[in-house]
Structure formats: structure tokens, C-alpha cells
Amino acid sequence: MGETEEEKDQAGKLFENFIQASTCKGTLQSFNLLCRLLDLDPQDHETFYCSLKTRLTSWRAKALWTKLDKRTCHKEYKRGQACVGTKCLIIGGGPCGLRTAIELALLGAKVVVIEKRDTFSRNNVLHLWPYTIHDLKGLGAKKFYGKFCAGAIDHISIRQLQLMLLKIALLVAVEFHVNVEFVKLLEPPENQENDGPGWRAEIRPADHPVASIDFDVVVGADGRRNTLEGFKRKEFRGKLAIAITANFVNRNTTAEAKVEEISGVAFIFNQKFFLDLKEETGIDLENIVYYKDNTHYFVMTAKKQSLLDKGVIIHDYIDTEMLLSSENVNQEALLGYAREAADFGTNYQLPTLDFAINACDQPDVAMFDFTSMYASENAALVRERFGHQLLVALVGDSLLEPFWPMGTGCARGFLAAFDSAWMVKRWAEGRTPLEVLAERESLYRILPQTTTENIGKNFEQYTIDPGTRYPNLISTCVRQNQVQRPFSRITFA
Ligand code: FAD
């Protein structure tokens, strides 16, 4: 395009700032500056990635394009033409919302993500299955975060994962809007002319440009408290399970480097460890995980009696909401409990145990109730009003809530992201709503059963096509007559 060396240099530097940006705001700012300098419009989603590629030719940029080009070559994307003309709204910029957004963009859809916050602040660490590591490396993860899953490491902090996925999403022309909160879906009005509004989203702030976009697909990826109407939730009530997460500052000293991680110890596998812990400290746990990441991260499931004995929980209530309400938790005692467990768990080898600080400027320790776990009854539904159809789907924690100490959230979340992208492709191909829903629900039946052992082992072959990921797949186990309810149609009032 006839740029001067100076302009190329400047673009290279801005690209570097973008790659290195360590916050959500910083990423968006450097991306906007880069687009302005190159005079590229990221809303021009059909040509943006190609234009960017031809304009950014530093070796670092080229290395990333090589990775991403390999990905864009998947035959399922049909060279970015598979979902051309499809407009998708993703609610929530967590890992699963962003991962879904990337797939839909690669299929050629126009993708808009709305995120109610403007910071990525979760230090907590996600366990990654081998396929997710392979998947992320294939998207250039190491170019954005050199330390990504080096050696035997198989985890990443939530904020670091969001950051890397946001950068990839922006490069493939996903629109990402922070400080925009989804409120509800707005049906198309009745008796409208042909060019009247279709399905839209009521959002806060109401005057945001996203409020005036008509969508064909809406994906709920807003975490365990899904806000999309129409999805019934199934509750799995188990025995009381109280998880504690704690993050300590990692100063990356040699002494800290030597301390071994605990990739997950459960009582039944190492009774001596837990009995010794109880005897020495009074702390009674069912399991514990320790990952050395940007922070020293611990997640443990604690027995209620030991929390009462150690003064963490003040009164014993049957109702778990009351039991774990902030008024019933002694925060200082909770910090002490987490620190003692971390100290014992690491054989007192971590030289200092200073708490990392969370987004609220408080020590990053929290207690969560996993007694009731939720899953949506359906993975998708189709709504039709006055001739306008809308495909609505759930992914991530909104679809199937994970039990953190097992670390399934991101792994199953990404599988659902791929399955949903596959469904949108089918939708764009013009399959009937019942066909699309029946296939999606068949795949959803597999999801809660997936483990590292029973999914396909050839990660190189993984695509959004479910057949590449689930061995012995029967994608017709749910029949079309079983998905009549998720297809709601109103053609006249
Ligand atoms: P999330 O990561 O929850 O992302 C949802 C996003 O949607 C958020 O960014 C949220 O701000 C946004 N949002 C919510 N409502 C709206 C709305 N109305 N409009 C727009 N945006 C909205 N898993 C573990 O394995 N270990 C852990 O220690 C752990 N700790 C966690 C701590 C917290 C506080 C939370 C919320 C989750 C934690 N998880 C943990 C779960 C893990 O983060 C998820 O499994 C994983 O991030 C995939 O989630 P997701 O993308 O579906 O949803």
C-alpha cells in the first residue's frame, strides 16, 4: 500500500503494544490505535483480517498469521463464507463467550460480544485439558503469552485466558463492547413493514449502537446466572460442598519455583495427607489443588464442621445461602484457614504467603457453595415471531455449571462453543429449526459425560465438526419430535 518505512515501524510498534497489552482496556485501546493508523475498519468483518495481514508484515505478525491461517483453512469455515450474512450476539466476554465468538467469526458471521464489565480481574486458575492447550496453541496463544503451558503446565489464570482470546477475537473482526449489559431479548413488532426491526437486544446503556442491530443468533455466555429467558434449569443437589479459592502473590523467586504443584488430591487417594492436615491444623478437606501461575492459586473443598470449629462460619444453618452469607463468615478466620491449608499443602515451602489482591482491593480469598449444581435442560431453542426467526443458544457455565476443583469448566465450555458454532453453520445452511435443534441436543447429551479419556485423541484433526472430537458419535439420539418445545413460533398475534 506504499507505506513509508516510518509508518511500517510505527504500525509494528503499535502491534507489539497490542500483543503485550496486559489489561482489557489496554488491549482495546492499542487495537483501536492500530486500526486508526492503518486506516482499517474492524466493523468491515469480511475483509478486515486479510487487510490487516497485508499491512502488518513484521516477523512477529507474520508468525501469528501463519498460525491463524492454518486455522482459517478448516474446510468447515468454507473460506469464511459458511455463515456470511448471519449476525450473532454473544452475551458475556468470559472464556467461553470469546471462544464461541472466534469460531463464529471464522465461519464468516458478523459477531458482536457485549460484556458488562471493562476489566478482566479473575486471578483464579483454570485447568486445561490437553485438547484445549492444543486448541489455544493453534490460535497463537504463545505469541500472546510466552509462558502459556510451558513444559508440564496445564493451567492458566482466567484473566490471562480472557486477554488472549480477546486479542484473537479482535484480529478476526469480532466487535467487543465493554460496559454493555444485556437485559432481555426484544421481539420484532407485529404488523411491521418488511424493513421493520427484527430480533434485538435490550441493553444498558439503552442508547448504545448495539441496541439497533437485528440479530439472527444470540448466544448466552454470561456465566452461571444466565439471563436469557426460555431455558429451564435442572438442579443437581448433592451433599454439602463448600469450595474455597485463595490466591497468593507469586514473586517468582527460586524458592517459589521449587515448590511442587498439587494437580488435585482427593481424600480417597491420599488419606494420610488429609488426616495429618486435620490433626496438625484442625482443617478438614475433601480435596485440594495448587497451581503455580501468575499467583499461587489454591482451590479446596472444606468440610463444614472444620469451618465451624475454626470460626470461619459463625452459626450453623441448614440453608446454605444463610450458612455462607457474608454476615455469617468471619473473613479474618477464612484468610487464616486458607493460609494454613496452603502452607501445609506445600509442606511450608512457600517463603511468604501474602494474599494477592482482587478487583475489590481485598485479599483474594473466596468461599463458594457447590451443593447445588445447575445445567440447562436444553442447549438451544428457536424463536419465531411474525416471520423473524432467532436461534438462541447457551454455552459455558450458563449451559453446564462446572465443579471447579475438577476443572471441567473451560474444557467442556470450549466443546460446547464448537458444538454451538457447528449448529450456527447448520442453521446458515438452511436446515430446518427442528433438524438443527435435534442435532444440537444430541450433542449436548454427550457433554456432561466427556472426560480427557473419552474424547478424540487426534487433536490435530479437531474442528467444529463434532465427528472430529467425539468418537462413536450418534448425532441423532434426540429426535425432531423431542425438540418441538424449544421451537416456539408465533406467526400472528
Ligand atoms: P464466565 O467466565 O463466568 O464469564 C461470563 C461473563 O459474562 C463475565 O465476564 C461477566 O462479566 C459477563 N456477564 C454476565 N452477565 C452479563 C450481562 N447481563 N451482560 C453482559 N455481560 C455479562 N473455575 C475454575 O475451574 N476454578 C476457579 O477457581 C474458578 N473461579 C471462578 C471465580 C469466579 C468469581 C467465577 C465467576 C467463575 C469461576 N470459575 C472457576 C468458573 C470459570 O471461570 C468458568 O468455568 C470459565 O470461565 C468459563 O466460563 P464462561 O465463559 O462460561 O463464563
* pTM of the predicted protein model: 0.96
- List the domains of the chain with CATH numbers: 5-73 (no CATH), 87-235+376-490 (3.50.50.60), 239-370 (no CATH)
Condensed to tens digits (0 to 9), the pLDDT of residues 468-482 reads: 999 988 777 888 888
Q: What number is the average pLDDT over the span 301-325?
A: 96
Ligand 1: atom nearest CA of 126 is: 25
160-174, 350-364, 432-446, 465-479: the lowest-pLDDT one: 465-479
Q: Is the pLDDT of residue 167 over 50?
A: yes
Q: Residue 158 C-alpha to ligand 1 middle, in angstroms? A: 8
Q: Residue 96 C-alpha to ligand 1 middle, in angstroms? A: 9
Per-chain mean pLDDT for the chain: 93
How much is the ipTM here? 0.98
Could you give the percent of the chain with pLDDT greater than 70?
Answer: 97
Q: Cβ distance 261 to 218 under 8 Å?
A: no
Q: Is the pLDDT of residue 32 over 90?
A: yes
Condensed to tens digits (0 to 9), the pLDDT of residues 190-218 reads: 876 667 799 999 999 999 999 999 999 99
Q: Residue 376 C-alpha to ligand 1 middle, in angstroms? A: 16
Q: Is the pLDDT of residue 185 over 70?
A: yes
7-11, 232-236, 267-271: the lowest-pLDDT one: 267-271
Residues near ligand 1 with C-beta < 6 Å?
91-97, 114-117, 122, 124, 126, 158, 181-182, 221-223, 227, 245, 299, 396-398, 402, 404, 407, 409-410, 413
Condensed to tens digits (0 to 9), the pLDDT of residues 107-150 reads: 999 999 999 999 999 999 999 999 999 999 999 999 999 999 99
Give the model's confidence band at 493: pLDDT under 50 very low, under 70 low, under 90 confident, else very high: very low
2-6, 121-125, 337-341: the lowest-pLDDT one: 2-6
Ligand 1: atom nearest CA of 245 is: 28
Q: Residue whose CA is closest, atom 23 of ligand 1?
A: 404
Q: Residue 223 C-alpha to ligand 1 middle, in angstroms? A: 5
Q: Residue 452 C-alpha to ligand 1 middle, in angstroms? A: 22
Dihedrals phi, psi of 246, to nearest 5 degrees: -145, 135
Which of 98, 122, 358, 376, when mutated, tests ligand 1's pocket best, judged by the most ligand atoms within 8 Å of its CB? Answer: 122
